[in-house]
Amino acid sequence: MMRGPGSESESQAVIPVAIAARTWVTGIALLAGAYLIWLTAAGALSALVLLFTGILVAVALRPIIDRLRVRMPFGVAVGAAFGAMVLIVALIAWVAIAPLGAELQRLFQAFPGYLNTLKGELAAIERYVNNDRLSKQIAGSLANSAGGLVNSLGVQIVGSSTALVTLAGNAVIILLLAVGWALSCDQLESFVLSLFSPSSRQDWKQAVDAIGGRLSAYAQGVVINGAIVGVTMGVSLALLGVPYALLLGFVVAVLQAIPMVGAVISGVIVLFVVLATSGWVKMAIALAIFIVVQAVDQNVISPIIFGQRVQLSFLLIIFATVAGSMLLGIPGAFLAVPAAAVLQVIVVRIVAPAVRRATGADPQGSSDPP
């Protein structure tokens, strides 16, 4: 019996598949579980950022605590060191917050006018280079981008009261974590080292000591270096007659903690503010001052402050800063370098020797990577 031309296609017709309710419930439950895991991981990551910051504060004060504990009980030495730190920070805040707040208030009030001035200055570039089509396009793009950036910055500044409250709360948490770490780090180190075999315990002990030394050197160096560069820029801008010199110096000091990238960000902020408030001539002078200050810092001040104790290559610093900022934003950029220092010590002192032993390579090839 012959089949018609449509018989085969009819026999291969798609049969609808019914998905059971249990399958839908299982899929939804898996998605909800994955979302809860993501939220938990994000919250844990924020807590780890606060913990790592507290560890940096604790290791920065560790040399002072070690000197004090020779003359007094350990707990009293920790309390004295942190009490002195809080007193110094409070004194600086009491002296600096009033003028910083006054400058910030004046900036809020004058912000719309400065924004219009900045747009006008950038538009003037566009008109000045109107004979060059490519330059005109670049200038116009720069003007539009700068206007959008400043508008966005203004919205964020207006809503900064909540951020200040959050920052104050995080500062208290970091202080408590730092005190707790300083009080318990010796016992914690002994417990962790007891988990390793006697043959590898000494290697881990040396790695932990190296990590503590590098973190302490970095934390102390960041504070000293930021203070020197920030004060230098603030005083220079004040002598130049630029408004908000104290506020700009503070911004430079804070962003100096982000290697390489922080100087670029603070430089752009300083130049735009000087351009909007004081014109092209003072902006050019401010640019020259900023370049000289950064050059002296990179070639003279930073090598003296940090010495050879941090021992991170330029490539690793850039990569760590970019990766940290992409993962955690601004906090990640601040903490990327010390985190990279910790990982480098573990790799060089623990992982690399183990790999050499396993592969039969030269065990003496244990120098730090360039």
Q: Which pair of structure tokens corresponds to residue 161? A: 């009261």
Residue 161 lies in a domain: no
| Predicted confidence (pLDDT) at residue 146 exceeds the cutoff of 80 | no
> Amino acid identity, residue 114?
Y
Provide the percentage of residues in the chain whose pLDDT is more than 70: 70
The pLDDT, as a whole number, for residue 17 is 45
At 309-329, the pLDDT tens digits run 667 777 788 888 888 888 777
Q: Which domain, by its residues, includes 220?
A: 196-358
Q: Tens digit of pLDDT for each residue in 258-292?
A: 877 888 888 988 988 888 888 888 889 999 999 99
On whether residue 322 sits in a domain, the answer given is yes
In-domain check, residue 79:
no
Asked if the structure places residue 320 within a domain, the reply is yes
CA 350 distance to own-chain centroid: 27
Position 42 in a domain: no
Q: How confident is the model at residue 1 (pLDDT cuts 50, 70, 90)?
A: very low
Q: Give domain status of residue 208, yes or no.
A: yes
Q: Which two tokens stand for residue 15?
A: 């049969």
pTM for the complete prediction?
0.69
Q: Is position 364 within any domain? A: no
pLDDT by residue (tens digit) across 232-253? 999 999 999 888 888 899 989 9
pLDDT in tens, 217-228: 888 888 888 999
What are the tens digits of pLDDT across the range 41-80? 556 677 788 888 898 899 989 989 989 988 889 889 999 9
Least confident of 21-30, 97-106, 307-316, 347-356: 21-30
Domain annotation covers residue 15: no
* Amino acid 259: pLDDT: 77
Mean pLDDT calculated for residue range 126-154:
54
> How many separate domains does the chain show?
1
Tokens 């005190």 belong to which residue? 179
**pLDDT value at residue 239:** 92
